[in-house]
Amino acid sequence: MLYRQRLLDLPHGELQTPVLFPVRNLGKRSSDNTPEYISSIPDLPTAMINVRAIRERDPMWDRLTNGVSLREEMEVPDDTIVYADSGGYDFSEKDPDTTPQETLETQRLLEADIFGTVDIPLSRENRSAENQRRIDRSIDLALEASTHHDGDELLLASVHGYDPETIRNGIRYLERRGEFDGYALGSLVPVRTDYEKVTKLVLAARTATDKHLHVYGLGGLVYQPLLLYLGVDSFDSSAFIRSAGNRNYLLPGFGGEELWNIDDLEYLPCPCPVCGSRTLDDIREDRDALVVHNLWALTTELRRFRYVASAGRDIEDYLDLRFQGNEVTQRAYRIAKQQVRRLT
């Protein structure tokens, strides 16, 4: 079992890991459609933002460059911990239209606590030579960021690869040639249904470094327990927003359920502040309420795992139970367990 807890000392305060960074759509066409959650979920003072999207949104960028702080723009407290991703998925069809230095300057202007390096994600549709070019280019961009970074913020190098050897070699190469506080594993969303592959890639990254390890885009209900078991320190997710858009209700330990499939209940089974006093019909008609509930569901999944670890209970027994209802994830967990036991 590789699960671990650490305390990060960041410019805007201390942060206990492992931790979830909810994705904010700040700057995107849909704007920031995330309802207030930071004051109501005490152990989630975190947010993931897309630097490029913010810079490309002219009215917002004008406000930010004329004295309005990012946290004022988001209407969150000053001690909110912000992870600023470079916006790599915007480069999935083209090369970056920014430089590592320009991205660092934007991340600093936004007063982010954690910086992600500029990267070019992989695609299953690409030829292997093109994906290799993207892997190499992302490494070069990370090293260039390392050269220009000298602040107190954490600098996490973005790493890509579709096989464990590439992941291990990439991290070790960056470790020898740059100065990074940790690594962020990307390009996993396109292969997220291949749980065995993803599990092996994450384990390769974890065993290649003892530094902070972040996984991009896989912080949903199913993946969270696997990532925690494999020793991932942080992860991000937009599942709470996307699921609410489809009227999908997330429930820890179970997954998602479309609300129109539920007719007979007056009250939903979750006791979170959103669901505890509101009827099914209330929540069905209120997208913002469903977004916040879904975020509570992700937080509860994390709290439950922390409780199992803190109480000294057998985490593998818990995960045996957690995954017993899904043959695919159960097999992925079984493989991960075999690999982890060889290491410990």
Residue 100 reports pLDDT greater than 90? yes
The residue assigned the tokens 């069809």 is 93
In this structure, of 120-134, 254-268, 310-324, the range with the lowest mean pLDDT score is 254-268
pLDDT tens-digit series, residues 32-61: 668 889 989 999 999 999 999 999 889 999
The residue assigned the tokens 């996984």 is 215
pLDDT tens-digit series, residues 184-201: 999 999 999 998 899 999
Residue pair 150/105 in contact by the 8 Å Cβ criterion: no
Mean pLDDT of the chain: 92
Q: Nearest-5° angle of CA 40, CA 43, CA 49?
A: 85
CB under 8 Å to 211, separation ≥6 — which residues? 180, 181, 182, 183
Which tokens go with 253? 């330990």
The confidence band for 154, taking pLDDT boundaries of 50, 70 and 90, is very high
Write down the pLDDT at residue 103: 95
Q: Which of residues 309 and 89 earns the better pLDDT score?
A: 309
pTM of this prediction? 0.95
Residue pair 81/45 in contact by the 8 Å Cβ criterion: yes
Write down the pLDDT at residue 90: 76
Residue 92 reports pLDDT greater than 70? no
Determine the Cα–Cα distance for residues 145 and 115; give it in Å rounded to an integer. Answer: 10
Which value, to the nearest 10 degrees, does the dihedral of the CA atoms of residues 11, 20, 240, 219 take?
Answer: 140
Amino acid at 78: D
Question: Is the CA virtual torsion 194, 172, 106, 8 positive or negative?
Answer: positive
Write down the pLDDT at residue 44: 94
Write down the pLDDT at residue 137: 95
Write down the pLDDT at residue 257: 85
In this structure, of 79-88, 204-213, 332-341, the range with the lowest mean pLDDT score is 332-341
pLDDT tens-digit series, residues 216-258: 999 889 899 999 999 999 999 999 998 998 889 998 878 888 8
Question: Is the CA virtual torsion 28, 31, 37, 42 positive or negative?
Answer: positive
Residue 129 reports pLDDT greater than 90? yes
Mean pLDDT of 305-317: 95
Which tokens go with 92? 């999935």
- Centroid of chain to Cα 187: 12
Residue pair 219/198 in contact by the 8 Å Cβ criterion: no
Q: Nearest-5° angle of CA 116, CA 117, CA 122?
A: 100
In the chain, % of residues over pLDDT 70: 98
Helix (H) or strand (E) holding 225: helix 223-229
Identify which of 59, 57, 56, 68 has the alpha carbon closest to the alpha carbon of residue 109.
68
Q: Which of residues 144 and 35 earns the better pLDDT score?
A: 144
Identify which of 26, 4, 160 has the alpha carbon closest to the alpha carbon of residue 82.
26
The confidence band for 214, taking pLDDT boundaries of 50, 70 and 90, is very high
